[in-house]
Amino acid sequence: MNHEPMLLAAPSGDVLNLRPEGPWTAANVVTLETLSRSVGADVDRSRVVTLDMSGVSALDTLGAWVLEKLSRRATSSGRSAEFVGVADHFSGLMDEVRQVNRHTPAPTAAPNPVLARLGDLGKSTVGAREDITIFLQMLGALFMAIIGVLRRPRSLRLTSLVYQLYRIGWQAIPIVALITFLIGAIIAQQGFFHFRRFGAESYTVDMVGILVLRELGVLIVAIMVAGRSGSAYTAELGSMKMREEIDALSTMGLDPVDVLILPRVAALVIALPILTFIGSIAALYGGGLVAQFYGDMGPAIYIARLHEAISVTHFKVGILKAPFMALVIGIVACSEGLRVKGSAESLGRQTTTSVVKSIFLVIVLDGLFAVFFASIGM
Amino acid sequence: MDAAQDEFAIRVRDLVVGFGRQTVLDRLSLDVRRGEILGLVGASGGGKSVLMRTIIGLIPRRSGTIEVMGQPAGGHGRAAATAWGILFQQGALFSSLTVRQNVQFPLRENLVLSQELMDEIAIAKLEMVGLRPEDADKYPAELSGGMTKRVALARALALDPPILFLDEPTSGLDPIAAGDFDALIKTLQRTLGLTVFMVTHDLASLTTVCDRVAALADGKIVAIGPMRELLQSEHPWVRAYFHGKRSQMLQHEMR
């Protein structure tokens, strides 16, 4: 039963007798392909090919197809081929295989690579416009939802809002505090290390204070929130879209923007300034620790220097940016979530897009704010 | 022993499966004969899918033995993959691969063969389950429910396994598509000499394609035999299942 499949070829004049033997099954596919290739030339030379199937001990679709292909190779140029001695329990399979692969679909012509590249460029240009439209639509829908809530405060989904605040605010505190603490410490260490060379160590505190409060605190926290919570929003809304939950909501007369998106975006807008505040304090604390253990500057001096170096303005500049960044992250995350199509791959792609896009927009927004604050002298 | 090995494709003895404190299958025994189509019925949540998944090796068992083609079943390694094909309820097609690649996946992973032959086999399988070669380059997201099931069946059959597991193959299909699918399973079973283990609620499938039907209730097989015999069964759950209002109506129509 278990021996190798064989193919005995007996050419006699114009007639070729092929006698497959043994198990012609998928498990022996390597042998089968070699065998069928080895008799190819003989098949092409003969006018009549007979395949004597009586020696075949086992047959599956793959084996049957390899044999059928041999016979088709013979018949393709007007010669003849026939199967003889097909056992009863193989005949159904042989008949089935005889019908398959009869017509090949017309191959679609590969597009001109230059044109395809140009086409992609055009598509992504139109896509960018579409992105902006979607962003503005979502902003408008959110605005309408807020007006609706202001009209009827009871329609605010308070439970959902509190739950989202807990998830993206409260639960994010440890990691946000840890990372900003480390960043503050690193900046202080770099400051002491490089400023020491020209005796300006005490200005390290100014640098840490201003940098953290104005830029780094809010930027680092926003980027972390975009990665941590923005991606979660996209994946959540995307899988809801895939399971038709969002359609179900709409058919019940509820607006998904009211029910799902407003609480999420509002939670981000509330949580991000708080996280920014916590993050900035953690960074200043990290800087202070480095000042004591690396810069030989006691806590009292550090705090006094900080008091001189920074003003409420610096704090305001940082914290004012936070809600706008939150809004951008929330809108991008939710609208990307709603763009998820049926497949798991699309969910992954949309989540990636969401994180990349929101981090990009957060940095662009930060730049615009820098220009704005500089021009009003803050 | 040899005779028994030849006769049965799957032998389950005293199988116990449970989750936490709950026992789903309680000393269950079941034999599936070679070359038959066995239908398994049972209450929703009664353990039908659990039984199927335990045989396949997806769920660990507490005790009991399972033999597949005379070999003790042990997990889901490469050897097991060629022993059976499985049609999951939702198709479980890989969404990042095209239809053709889905069907080729088991071939590519288990055998060494040329791309040309692999393409031809994939198209052959697709045609055998009633799809057109033009469908081969579509992605699963672009398929209708019936087509998804057919592609999943083609993938399950890619390696010509001797045993085919079907989890509610006709659920979610319209009666015409379901009937076609039943006929397809019957045809393929005959041509390829398959043993088919089918979990289903579809009374029409049970009557038309299944050689035997097993009824699962209270974690045990309470009745097994051809549909005719099961209709005569005295077990209260089996009676309720086949002689309930819905079933009566159907059977009346069929007469």
Lowest-pLDDT range, A60-64, A112-116, A338-342? Answer: A60-64
The DSSP bridge pattern shows strands B22-33 and A80-84 to be unpaired
pLDDT at position B254: 55
Q: How confident is the model at residue A283 (pLDDT cuts 50, 70, 90)?
A: very high
Tell me the shortest Cα–Cα distance from B120 to chain A, in angstroms.
7
Q: How confident is the model at residue B74 (pLDDT cuts 50, 70, 90)?
A: low
Residue numbers in B near A93 (CB within 8 A): 191-192
pLDDT at position B119: 84
CB-based contact B117 A93, cutoff 8 Å: no
The mean per-residue pLDDT over the stretch A191-215 comes to 91
Q: Does B90 contact chain A (CB < 8 Å)?
A: no
Q: Does A344 contact chain B (CB < 8 Å)?
A: yes
pLDDT at position A1: 46
Is residue B89 over pLDDT 60?
yes
Q: Does A105 contact chain B (CB < 8 Å)?
A: yes
* List of residues 6+ apart from A32 with CB closer than 8 A: A5, A24, A62, A63, A66
CB-based contact B128 A61, cutoff 8 Å: yes
The mean per-residue pLDDT over the stretch A198-209 comes to 90
Average pLDDT score, chain A: 88
Is residue A366 over pLDDT 50?
yes
Residue numbers in A near B125 (CB within 8 A): 61
Query: Which H/E stretch holds residue A213?
Result: none
Q: Does B113 contact chain A (CB < 8 Å)?
A: yes
Q: Helices marked H in A196-261 — which ranges?
A: 203-210, 217-225, 231-242, 245-251, 256
The mean per-residue pLDDT over the stretch B106-121 comes to 81
Which has the closest alpha carbon to A331: A209, A211, A226, A194? A226
User: Angle of helix A231-242 relative to helix A344-375, nearest 10 degrees?
Assistant: 140
Is residue B249 over pLDDT 80?
no
Which has the closest alpha carbon to A269: A364, A142, A356? A142
pLDDT at position A330: 96
CB-based contact B124 A61, cutoff 8 Å: yes
Is residue A230 over pLDDT 60?
yes
Q: How confident is the model at residue A146 (pLDDT cuts 50, 70, 90)?
A: very high
Task: Give the residue, A7 or A106, on which the prediction is more confident.
Answer: A7
CB-based contact B113 A104, cutoff 8 Å: no
Q: How confident is the model at residue A16 (pLDDT cuts 50, 70, 90)?
A: confident
Q: Are A228 and A330 in contact (CB under 8 A)?
A: no
d(CA B193, CA B188): 8
Is residue B255 over pLDDT 60?
no
The mean per-residue pLDDT over the stretch A174-200 comes to 94
Is this prediction's pTM over 0.95?
Answer: no
d(CA B245, CA A360): 62
Task: Give the residue, A357 or B6, on which the prediction is more confident.
Answer: A357
Q: How confident is the model at residue B2 (pLDDT cuts 50, 70, 90)?
A: very low
Residue numbers in B near A62 (CB within 8 A): 117, 121, 160
Q: How confident is the model at residue A47 (pLDDT cuts 50, 70, 90)?
A: confident
pLDDT at position B20: 80
Is residue B77 over pLDDT 70?
no
Q: A79-115 as b/e, with b when 16 or more CB fall inside 10 Å? A: bebebeebeeebebbbebbeebbeeeeeeeeeeeeee
pLDDT at position B78: 57
Tell me the shortest Cα–Cα distance from B117 to chain A, in angstroms.
8
Q: Does B159 contact chain A (CB < 8 Å)?
A: yes
Is residue B5 over pLDDT 60?
no
Residue numbers in B near A25 (CB within 8 A): 160
Place of tokens 């019936």: B146
Is residue A2 over pLDDT 80?
no
Q: How confident is the model at residue B96 (pLDDT cuts 50, 70, 90)?
A: confident
